[in-house]
A and B are shown apart, each in its own frame.
Chain A
Amino acid sequence: MLALALCSLFIGKYPLSPGLLLSGDDMQWRVFLTLRLPRVLVGLIGGFALGVCGFVFQTVFSNPLASPDIVGVSSGASTGAAAGILFFSGVSAGAAVTASAFVGALFAAVTAIVLSTLDKSSKNSTIVLAGIAVHALSQTALMALKLTADPERELASIEYWMMGSLNGITLSECGGNLVLTVLCCAVLFFLHRQIILLSAEEGEARMLGVSVGKMRLTVLITATLTVAAVISGTGLISFIGLLAPHIARLLTGENRISTMLLGGITGGILLLGADILARTAWAAELPVSIFTSLLGAPFLIWLVLGKRNARV
């Protein structure tokens, strides 16, 4: 992952060379600090976080197809971003869209989680159903926002945001998000034992000493916060949360803290790799989700058809 990050620092339209950087070239340093370094940091930390959160969701729901989308975080972020593009398109638009997407993602996820707590049985399926309802509501709001958008500029911006990209990310816009992502990931690693225990049947987990309702809420909110912090800065990034934990499990064959860590590293590699391809595969820069989906979609088909008995 670090080798890929190093490559990523020097790949792009504007050629950077280690020699010129070391000689103190002003332009080289400006490109390095304002464009490449933030991009690589977001790719590295964002991909890592998406992989870790994918592991968390799949483990807590004991479902190999679970991902952060299950609580409506992506659709909430899209709606928030669309609102940001429409209503705050003035100065510092990028930061406003990031903040708006973050608020949208959190609002959707917290609504789904709060709705699920209304059912006292606190079953996993209730959260999934609440997530589907919130997703549907978010999509309705998004469609309404798209209808009012100017097709030339705003609609295109909304669509481009939804395809995800690390292009143009700056530390001033995403610095706070990165810090939040790192903190939330640390909390998830501290709670890894509880996360594994939550995969057991509810009564069994309770009798092993886990306050199931409270712990599941804590874990899901932390994971959701992490994903919201990442995708509010990058736009939607498909499949990494689904793909990375499975690759980690294929390599380790188990669910331990090491698998969670490997899921994160795999997520980082996937996002950095997809970003390098997005920058180099075509004359114009492509959205990063094209490449993550190119990998993820066949994997999903394989998971559904080829591994019918797929487990987490």
Chain B
Amino acid sequence: MPIFQAQSITAGYKNRGVIKDCSFSLDAGSITGILGANGSGKTTLIKAVCGILPHRGTCTLDGTALETLSARQLSQVCGYIPQRSGIQIDIPVIDVVLMGFHASLGLLERPTESMRRSAVGALAKVGLGGYAEHNYQKLSEGQKQLCILARTLVCDRRLLLLDEPESALDYAMRHRTLDLLRTYVRHTGGCALVALHDPILALNACDRLLFLRDGTTAGSVSPMTDDPAETERLLRMIYGDVRLLRVEEQWVLLRDGK
């Protein structure tokens, strides 16, 4: 059952329109992947839904238009992972994770002991147990992404928006990230919209895929239930001559002739 609907989203930068009239919905407990070539508008779509980019159209979560929410209210229902975090200062890893609680703290409140324990737990979940007091700037790019993932998963939110959260991760951690996301949305009953570069990961880890081409929705499929021929047609539209195969319960994508 859909808990989030995006209606006719149009967004861009200054005079350049990137996303044109995109509409889609997200079901409770599901992960929806956005696939598209470079420059197709994946990041722009995520930023428009967040409200970081001004846009036309409406995004509704549980019946509430996200556009009407203050930054604080939005943060309480929606978590966001940017492609790369803009934190440039020397700061302990635990403090980065605790930033996730900011919206639930009053002006003069400090994170509680239980929040601190949750933050340490979230770090352990993403494989950064023992890094709590390390300097965030000294982590590798992949570890930084995991730290930001921990910051997003540390609170219960209805909608997660993730912009290529796996781009700096190794093979095992990419799958671990998507597994953690799956557990999270199932546990909270929320939903996740994830822009992904890796179509094979997307095919195997997402409940639904949204294909973007030149800023418009080219189509959407559920890889596990829909006709593979339709999924292959959409994949070919974006990646050229590719073939979709099912091998031991996993989707595999081959370049034609290879």
Contact = CB atoms under 8 A, between A and B. Distances in A.
Interface string A171-212: 000000000000000000011010011011111101111111
B122 interface: no
B204 interface: no
By CB atoms of chain A within 10 A, which of B47, B71, B78 has the most?
A: B71
A62 B89 contact: yes
B122 to A, nearest CB: 15
Nearest to A120: B54
A203 B76 contact: no
Interface in A236-284: 249, 253-256
B189 to A, nearest CB: 21
A252 to B, nearest CB: 9
Nearest to A121: B14
A253 B135 contact: yes
A210 B90 contact: no
A207 B92 contact: no
B162 to A, nearest CB: 11
User: Size band of the A side of the interface?
Assistant: 20 to 34
A56 to B, nearest CB: 12
By CB atoms of chain A within 10 A, which of B50, B72, B86 has the most?
A: B86
Interface stretch (B4-12, B97-105, B191-199, B217-225): B97-105
Nearest to A207: B80
Interface of B: 47, 50-52, 70-72, 74-76, 78-80, 82, 85-92, 95, 99-100, 102-103, 105, 107-108, 110, 135, 137
A202 B52 CA distance: 8
Q: Is the interface of A mostly helix, strand, loop or mixed?
A: loop
Nearest to A190: B108
Give the top 9 A-B pairs by smallest Cβ distance, nearest first.
A201-B86, A209-B103, A209-B75, A203-B52, A207-B80, A62-B88, A312-B89, A209-B72, A199-B89
Nearest to B87: A200
B82 A201 contact: yes
Contacts of A210: 71, 102
Contacts of B85: 200-201, 204
A207 B72 CA distance: 8
A275 B146 CA distance: 49
Contacts of A209: 71-72, 74-76, 102-103
B50 A256 contact: no
B79 A312 contact: no
A30 interface: no
By CB atoms of chain A within 10 A, which of B78, B82, B99 has the most?
A: B99
Contact of A208 (B70, B91, B95, B100): B100
A121 to B, nearest CB: 9
A211 B90 contact: no
A199 B75 contact: no
A255 B89 CA distance: 7
A200 B137 CA distance: 13
30 contacts: A62-B86, A62-B89, A193-B102, A193-B110, A196-B91, A197-B102, A199-B88, A201-B86, A201-B87, A202-B52, A203-B47, A203-B50, A204-B82, A204-B85, A206-B51, A206-B52, A206-B75, A207-B52, A208-B75, A208-B100, A208-B102, A209-B71, A209-B74, A211-B70, A211-B72, A254-B91, A254-B92, A255-B91, A256-B91, A311-B89
B90 A207 contact: no
B95 A207 contact: no
B87 A199 contact: yes
Nearest to B98: A193
Given A196-B95, A207-B50, A311 B74 contact: no
Contacts of A190: 107-108
A65 to B, nearest CB: 13
Contact of A204 (B51, B78, B86, B105): B86
